[in-house]
Amino acid sequence: AEVIIVRDEQEAGRLVGDAIVDLVRTRPDAVLGLATGSTPLAVYRHLAERVRGDDIDVSRVRGFALDEYVGLPAGHPESYRRVIEREVVEPLGLTPENIRVPSGELEGIETAGEEYEAAIRAAGGVDLQILGIGRTGHIGFNEPGSSLASSTRVKTLTEETRADNARFFASPDEVPMHCITQGIGTILRARHLVLLAFGEAKAAAVAAAVEGPVSTSAPGSAVQLHPHVTVVVDEAAAASLA
Ligand code: F6R
């Protein structure tokens, strides 16, 4: 992987956001893989600024979210469907019908994974996948032990990840136990992976992903199997790299 060390999240946002602008200029109906959580927010903010500056037409851009909680009430503000609408679709002015999020509704959950895979295939695959990484080493919500060949399916969140995400909910018990997530195999089918991480809490996960043995116990290490990976980290998240 190419590792780029940036000063701060804003610099990462400009770097990755500008790369996405270039992609959309050459491919106006580009397919973006969208991560949620805090890490990609600077990218989305920078992209929104470029769109406001009228630098690009994003009306045909398509997108697939990485994951969703299972069983939240429809329209819950922290459902990733709502988060993607609020942080990405609305500020960038994307066309809502072009943006998909896996369905975390209990009804139909058995087939939701396969349907999502079929939708990604029908779109011709993901051109650029934005990834964060969890302290547990997860990408998407593929926690340690996830098969490196996995596709979109329901998983159980680890206690550590539920605790990390409790900041978005009124109380820690409100964080769902389950999620539906693109698999590691799904993620590896994207044509370009851009993994972002900031802060010292991510240093161990970043080192394991970039330099550790490729192993299901460090799901992020799967990026080493991919021919086109860009890792964008601040000094703190890079601290454990050799
Ligand atoms: C989000 C996702 C997760 C996050 C990871 C880091 O869609 O799939 O892998 O990227 O949990 O979360 P933050 O960015 O909040 O530290």
User: Given this model, what pLDDT does residue 218 score?
Assistant: 98
Q: Catalytic site residue 159?
A: no
Domain holding 28, by residue range, is: 2-234
Rounded to the nearest 10 degrees, how much is the dihedral formed by the CA atoms of 55, 231, 143, 175?
-40
In a domain, 239, yes or no: no
The whole-model pTM stands at 0.97
Our mutation pick for probing the ligand 1 site, out of 41, 43, 66, counting the most ligand atoms within 8 A of Cβ, is: 66
Tell whether the model's pLDDT for residue 54 goes beyond 90.
no
In a domain, 242, yes or no: no
Our mutation pick for probing the ligand 1 site, out of 9, 32, 39, 45, counting the most ligand atoms within 8 A of Cβ, is: 39
For all residues of the chain together, what is the average pLDDT? 97
Q: How many CB atoms lie within 10 A of CB 16?
A: 24
Q: How far apart are CA 148 and CA 150, in angstroms?
A: 6
| pLDDT cut 70: percent of the chain above it | 100
Phi, psi (degrees; rounded to nearest 5) at 65? -70, 155
In a domain, 241, yes or no: no
- Cβ contact 84:53 at 8 Å: no
Write out pLDDT tens, residues 8-30. Answer: 999 999 999 999 999 999 999 99
Q: How far is CA 59 from CA 43, 51, 85, 92, 98, in A?
A: 18, 10, 15, 9, 9
In a domain, 218, yes or no: yes
- For residue 39, how far is its CA from the centre of ligand 1 (angstroms)? 7
How many domains, in total, are found in the chain?
1
In a domain, 123, yes or no: yes
Write out pLDDT tens, residues 108-150. Answer: 999 999 999 999 999 999 999 999 999 999 999 999 999 999 9
Quick check: CB of 158 below 6 Å from ligand 1?
A: no
Instruction: Indicate which CATH number applies to the domain containing 27.
Output: 3.40.50.1360
In a domain, 229, yes or no: yes
Nearest CA to ligand 1 atom 1: 36
Q: Looking at ligand 1, which atom is closest to the CA of residue 132?
A: 10
In a domain, 240, yes or no: no
